Amino acid sequence: MIRHPATQGRADSNHRAIADAIRLLGYPVMDLSHAGNGVEDLLVGARVPSAKPWPSGYWLLVECKVARYKLTASTAVRYTKAQIEWRKQTQGWPRIIATSAQNAVDQIRTLTGSPTKSASSAPCSPVPRPMRNGPKA
């Protein structure tokens, strides 16, 4: 019998990459993967543009899921009974289901109204890329 990663105290294999990619966008991320009871894997402080002198935003719940089939990342995901119950209790709260780091970044940019491409227009990578010519002296 295969057990769900959360019941074993482990995060999904893409969990860390997703969290790191969101942090690279500049958003604070709290790991909730060990909270249990069907709670999503990550809590993200998402900011939205505001004319106020303080940041305006909301808490975004992020569920990290591994795509069931390699052909499509949009394949239906499965939920535990606890996750189904939690989703019923928190219906209406902003949440996304991320199957990869890039998928999470794209969804968050859409929700927050951020530009669809970064300044470098390179795909999101949770690992810093080495400089080609080395540091300038």
C-alpha–C-alpha distance, residues 137 and 134, integer Å = 9
| Chain center to CA of 34 | 16
Query: Is residue 40 classed as helix, strand or coil in its secondary structure?
Result: coil
Output the pTM of the full model: 0.68
DSSP letters of 21-82?
Answer: HHHHTT--EEE-TTS-TT--SEEEEEEE--SSSS-EEEEEEEEE---SBTTBTTSPP---HH
As a whole number of angstroms, the distance between CA 120 and CA 124 comes to 10
Please tell me the predicted confidence (pLDDT) of residue 118: 41
Better-predicted residue by pLDDT, 62 or 6? 62
- pLDDT grade for 115, boundaries at 50, 70 and 90: low
Architecture of the CATH domain 5-49+56-72+95-112: 3-Layer(aba) Sandwich (3.40)
What does the pLDDT look like over 37-58, one tens digit per residue?
999 999 999 877 666 666 678 8
pLDDT at 71: 45
